[in-house]
Amino acid sequence: NAGVTQTPKFQVLKTGQSMTLQCAQDMNHEYMSWYRQDPGMGLRLIHYSVGAGITDQGEVPNGYNVSRSTTEDFPLRLLSAAPSQTSVYFCASSPSSVREGYNEQFFGPGTRLTVL
């Protein structure tokens, strides 16, 4: 049971380049989300998904796209990277709250992204 995995661990992009941050979980969790962590600002929610085929925006969605074609995977796409997207990105998952009441979110190890 690997939990929540993220790839790559580190990435450097040039302004305008595109890339996809990968996130996968093997716990059959319905809920998945992406956060970014910036110094002095804690973590902020980018996008989230309550199940395959369903996504929604969080607090800071601009410049990012997501899709959820399977329960296991929730990739985050940067279509045209900007220096303001330099950050550490965390993926998280949890079981459905509808059926199971309170649930803990499980976080991946993070991807450190630098945009030059």
Partner 1 sequence: GDSVTQMEGPVTLSEEAFLTINCTYTATGYPSLFWYVQYPGEGLQLLLKATKADDKGSNKGFEATYRKETTSFHLEKGSVQVSDSAVYFCALSEIQGAQKLVFGQGTRLTINP
60 binds partner 1 (CB under 8 A): no
Which residue stretch of 10-18, 19-27, 63-71, 93-101 sits at the interface with partner 1 (rule: CB under 8 A)?
Answer: 93-101
CA Rg value for the chain: 14
The CA distance from 29 to 95, in Å, is 4
Nearer to partner 1, 62 or 102 (CB): 102
How many residues interact with partner 1 (rule CB under 8 A)?
A: 30
Residue of 86, 51, 50, 80 whose CA lies nearest to 65: 80
90 binds partner 1 (CB under 8 A): yes
